[in-house]
């Protein structure tokens, strides 16, 4: 089981198929052994597709030629050499993708799902919350109509960003519009459905607190990344003044990061991302930190199907599992075609029990969508849901053009 090659593969939306900028590219990692066995991993790409892809080549030097069973030593050796690892999302993302692929290989060789190597599963199904469902929604009634459709599909929790193009500061008018959107969704889905408010780490503390106090009235289950990440110390004040719990974690990279935020009282619900916080190797340690603090865990999961498959294996073992993010219902067809082996049914994931990650990659689809493109830029930032950034209708800014999507071109 010597590792022969570690190959980063970029796939992207074909020309003409709509895709939000943040989801228009996917970095897969294929690890192949000397006897031809294959394991798969994935890395995030938001405006860093090519840097992450090249970082995988750096990580590869620490794994190629080594036995799959040496995955802990390989991980530790890269950690020792990578001087900026704890602050470099490119490095941790590349390492995470390779780590996931090697765990996939190891579990396949033993004929068990990864969850068995992590200590065994505590559950076979997990509750999902829908994200991405509100594309092209600006008016409150548009949010409400799409939320109703999600309820009809079986979802009992919805995350969404109601803040339009507000950034940094928040005008009274922008806050009013956000409040109307959340009110419309709450009325549409009723009191039993969980609403999760996405801030996208965009506000200065004063604006975040005003928004939090306003939206408390709709009883959301959590508010995600309310302040800009570099101002995270202000989360203590936010938690003191806003009733709704704070969730975050997609920009934390190491177990020590998660422990620090919990110890300092800056977060209630952890949202690690297995594709940038050290894969399964760090994932076990982060789960231990969460358990020690009794912190609920709701894994961030916004990119592709290998990420989902790996995350579900972690979910199966988490003592403090809370919710699982799902974009699957909003994916374009090209992304759906990459992997077989799991699905969302009635607002829940059934955790795959087949060996490894429990899924099969369609390598013909991977080759069909192989690309060398980068994510499009503008008019919306790549982290927003398409069509939600620029207001329309009676409350729209007359000086701001409406949204226009740029589709990435496929190149070989």
State residue 165's pLDDT score.
95
Query: Using CA atoms, how far apart are residues 131 and 173, in angstroms rounded to an integer?
Result: 25
Per-chain mean pLDDT for the chain: 93
State residue 394's pLDDT score.
46
- Taking the alpha carbons at both ends of the chain, their separation in whole angstroms is 31
Tokens found for residue 359: 């899924």
89, 253 Cβ separation under 8 angstroms = yes
Coil/strand/helix, residue 51: helix
Tokens 């991980």 belong to: 75
Is it true that domain 116-358 has CATH number 3.10.450.50? no
Q: Is residue 300 among the annotated active site residues?
A: yes
Coil/strand/helix, residue 197: strand
Tokens found for residue 165: 């193009």
325, 274 Cβ separation under 8 angstroms = no
What tens digit of pLDDT does each residue of 115-171 get? 999 999 999 999 999 999 999 999 999 999 999 999 999 999 999 999 999 999 999
The residues that bridge with 223 in the sheet, in sequence order, are 197, 246
What tens digit of pLDDT does each residue of 11-59 get? 998 876 766 666 789 999 999 999 999 999 999 998 899 999 999 999 9
Percent of the chain whose pLDDT exceeds 70: 93
State residue 379's pLDDT score.
80
Smallest Cα–Cα separation from 90: which of 118, 61, 58, 55? Answer: 55
State residue 66's pLDDT score.
98
Q: Is residue 200 among the annotated active site residues?
A: yes
Q: H-helix or E-strand containing 29?
A: strand 25-33
Query: Using CA atoms, how far apart are residues 368 and 400, in angstroms rounded to an integer?
Result: 38
Predicted confidence band at 405 (pLDDT cuts at 50, 70, 90)? very low
Hey, where are the domains in the chain? Answer: 116-358
Model pTM score: 0.94
Selecting among 50, 66, 79, 200, the annotated active-site residue is: 200
Judged against a pLDDT cut of 60, whether residue 356 lies above it is answered with yes
Phi and psi dihedrals of 242, rounded to 5? -120, 135
Percent of the chain whose pLDDT exceeds 90: 87
């Amino acid at each position: 089981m010597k590792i022969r090659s570690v190959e980063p593969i970029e796939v992207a939306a074909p020309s003409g198929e709509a895709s939000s900028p943040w989801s228009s590219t996917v970095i897969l990692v294929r690890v192949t052994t000397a006897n031809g066995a294959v394991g798969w991993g994935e890395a995030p790409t938001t405006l860093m597709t090519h840097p992450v892809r090249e970082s995988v080549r750096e990580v590869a030097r620490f794994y190629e030629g080594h036995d799959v069973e040496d995955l802990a030593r390989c991980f530790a050796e890269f950690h020792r050499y990578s001087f900026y690892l704890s602050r470099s999302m490119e490095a941790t993302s590349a390492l995470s993708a390779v780590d996931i692929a090697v765990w996939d290989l190891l579990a396949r060789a033993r004929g068990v799902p990864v969850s068995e190597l992590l200590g065994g599963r505590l559950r076979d199904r997990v509750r999902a919350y829908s994200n991405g469902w509100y594309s092209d929604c600006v008016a409150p009634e548009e949010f409400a109509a799409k939320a109703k459709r999600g309820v009809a599909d079986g979802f009992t929790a919805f995350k969404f960003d109601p803040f339009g193009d507000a950034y940094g500061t928040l005008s009274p008018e922008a806050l009013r519009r956000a409040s109307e959107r959340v009110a419309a969704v709450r009325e549409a889905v009723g009191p039993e459905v969980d609403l999760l408010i996405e801030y996208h780490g965009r506000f200065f503390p004063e604006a975040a607190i005003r928004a939090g106090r306003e939206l408390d009235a709709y009883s959301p289950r959590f508010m995600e990344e309310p302040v800009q990440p570099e101002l995270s110390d202000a989360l203590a004040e936010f938690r003191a003044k806003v009733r709704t719990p704070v969730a975050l974690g997609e920009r934390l990279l190491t177990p020590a990061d998660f422990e620090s935020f919990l110890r300092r009282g800056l977060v209630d619900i952890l949202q690690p991302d297995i594709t940038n916080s050290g894969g399964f190797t760090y994932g076990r340690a982060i789960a231990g930190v969460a358990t020690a603090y009794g912190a609920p865990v709701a894994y961030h999961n916004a990119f592709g199907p290998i990420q989902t498959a790996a995350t579900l294996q972690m979910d199966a073992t988490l003592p403090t599992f809370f919710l699982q993010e799902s974009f699957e219902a909003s994916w374009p067809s090209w992304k759906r075609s990459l992997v077989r082996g799991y699905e969302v049914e009635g607002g829940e994931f059934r955790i795959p029990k087949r060996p490894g990650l429990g899924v099969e990659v369609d390598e013909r689809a991977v080759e069909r969508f192989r690309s060398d493109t980068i994510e499009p830029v503008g008019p919306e930032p790549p982290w927003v849901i398409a069509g939600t950034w620029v207001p329309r209708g009676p409350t729209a800014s007359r000086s701001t053009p409406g949204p226009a999507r740029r589709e990435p071109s496929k190149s070989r």
